[in-house]
Amino acid sequence: MASVKPEIRTFLCRSDNIGVLIRDPASGACAAIDVPEAAPVLATLEAEGWQLTDILVTHRHADHIEGIPEVVERTGARVTAPEKAREAVPGAKRTVAEGDTVTVGDLVAKVWETPGHCADHVTYHFAQAEVVFAGDTLFTLGCGRVMEAEPQVLWRSLRRFLDLPDATAVYSGHDYVLSNGRFALAAEPDNRNLKDRVAQAERLAEQGGFLIPSTIGEEKATNPFLRVGEPALARAAGLEPGSDPAAVFTALRAWKNRF
């Protein structure tokens, strides 16, 4: 059976959050991935003529959920939240944990628990559609800040993305692409693929766009936090080539925090 190809729209919310709508064209079911701000979500629904049926929450931070009450009031959408954020997400009707399944019409996603940025973070992987919604775990050219765990916890979460097919589209929760690119170039200045991607991101930014989604293949070629096994990145982090990838990740993340 041919895979179901979703319709997806991205748009800015707040200052740098990425709003996302995913729609199953067969059934008309439509989900928002988080609701950072109500107005842009509602405006995009109206412009597309789509009816929101679901809200899939990646984590409890206010800049990802504060628009939920207004959007639920306007649309009646069902809110699905991480089990570990049950009490923090307004209007949650269903909670999910590792290995659970969510559906948007005929589109099916597996839930991954991806802690590190925060303890309750989850990722939604629509395997047949080749789409993953990474929230604040994996960004284009970067990764989330470690807030509620040791860095190794976030590294274990990020490692899961490396096993996905290269063509998988990655939707992240913020447009931090240009700042991530500057750090990535500092860490790996001789990476030609990285230079090309940063140039592409700069061109898009000049046109009011952003380099989201990315793909797993592109991130494996250019994102320093997924390339911690590369000798050049170990050296950039002040470690010997062949060092434990978790140690290289920890050093790179600490450097990024100061960058």
Q: Is 121 annotated as a binding residue?
A: no
Residues linked to residue 9 through DSSP beta bridges, in sequence order: 21
Q: Quick one: angle between helices 177-187 and 192-206, nearest 10? A: 160
Q: Is 61 annotated as a binding residue?
A: yes
CB-CB neighbours of 152 under 10 Å: 16
- Give the closest residue to 60 by CA, choosing from 87, 33, 42, 31: 87
241 to 84, 151, 168, 193: CA distances (angstroms): 38, 20, 29, 21
Q: Is 125 annotated as a binding residue?
A: no
- Give the closest residue to 117 by CA, choosing from 232, 258, 253, 259: 253
- Give the closest residue to 52 by CA, choosing from 40, 64, 61, 60: 40
The alpha carbon of 211 is separated from its chain's Cα centroid by a whole number of angstroms, namely 12
Q: Is 190 annotated as a binding residue?
A: no
Which residues belong to the annotated binding site? Answer: 59, 61, 63-64, 117, 136, 174
Which residues belong to the annotated binding site for Zn(2+)? Answer: 59, 61, 63-64, 117, 136, 174
